[in-house]
């Protein structure tokens, strides 16, 4: 059975609540496509108004992060129960910006993965290499480590529902896009890693996105690759062009 494409917008730290509502109302007719899963991962303060604006459409609202504890003295954090209470189904975990600017590690990402599954939230777990790592020839070594640690303690049945987003750090927000061959090679390597951890059936079921300056122009060729099941889209998700990415065929 073919994997359904999942195309997610990662809004990052953009859009006030009122701006979020306006953008969703603008994008709703442009992203109408039942052949793919469409997810908008928005800042925490935007989640509730975004949910209300997206009601009745094919847009699913996700979060950009969450903490791995249920509640407590964690000022500024958001818990999984807070997300599920308003209907959040997806959460981005381990984005390179979280790892770089907020000292997240593969170990803390793993704690968040486990907690997300406890609450029935689908993780979109990010992995990717720096330009220096690519030039040193250690891309797959580094990404395999991120994947193996990230999925520690996750069952095969849980893993089958996960989304992995491969984002070469050197291509995020730079306008540089990995070549189709580079993106497919790494996504195939990630699928092989999942097969090693679990089995072929799990590897075949899991959805792997490409992210990193995805555009309306690059999407059709990228998404046609055997191991690329959609995209995690940054800047282009904040523009009408996101509709072209969702309707890439």
Which amino acids are annotated catalytic? 95, 167
Phi/psi of residue 34, nearest 5 degrees? -80, -5
The string of DSSP letters for 70-126 reads SSSS-TT---HHHHHHTT--EEEES-HHHHHHS---HHHHHHHHHHHHHTTPEEEEE
Contact 4, 198 (CB under 8 A): no
Q: Per residue in 161-180, is it b (16+ CB within 10 Å) or e — as a string? A: ebbbbbbbbbbbeeeebbeb
CB within 8 A of 240, min separation 6: which ones?
Answer: 26, 27, 30
Strand (E) or helix (H) holding 40: strand 37-42
Strands 37-42 and 6-10: parallel
- Contact 37/4 with Cβ under 8 angstroms? yes
């Amino acid at each position: 059975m073919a994997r359904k494409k999942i195309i997610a917008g990662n809004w990052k730290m953009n859009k006030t609540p009122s701006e979020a509502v306006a953008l969703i109302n603008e994008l709703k007719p442009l992203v109408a496509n039942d052949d793919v899963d469409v997810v908008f991962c928005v800042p925490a303060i935007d989640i509730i108004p975004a949910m209300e604006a997206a009601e009745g459409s094919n847009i699913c609202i996700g979060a950009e992060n969450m903490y791995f504890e249920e509640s407590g003295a964690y000022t500024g954090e958001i818990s999984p129960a807070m997300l599920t209470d308003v209907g959040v189904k997806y959460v981005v975990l381990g984005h390179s910006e979280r790892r770089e600017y907020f000292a997240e590690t593969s170990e803390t990402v793993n704690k968040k993965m486990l907690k997300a599954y406890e609450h029935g939230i689908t993780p979109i777990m990010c992995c990717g290499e720096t330009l220096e790592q690519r030039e040193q020839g250690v891309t797959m070594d580094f990404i395999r480590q991120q994947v193996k640690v990230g999925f520690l303690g996750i069952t095969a049945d849980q893993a089958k529902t996960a989304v992995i987003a491969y984002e070469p750090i050197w291509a995020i927000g730079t306008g540089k896009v990995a070549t189709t061959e580079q993106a497919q090679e790494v996504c195939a390597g990630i699928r092989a890693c999942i097969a090693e951890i679990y089995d072929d059936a799990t590897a075949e079921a899991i959805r792997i996105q490409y992210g990193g300056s995805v555009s309306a122009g690059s999407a059709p060729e990228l998404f046609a690759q055997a191991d690329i099941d959609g995209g995690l889209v940054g800047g282009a998700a904040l523009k009408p062009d996101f509709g072209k990415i969702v309707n890439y065929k």
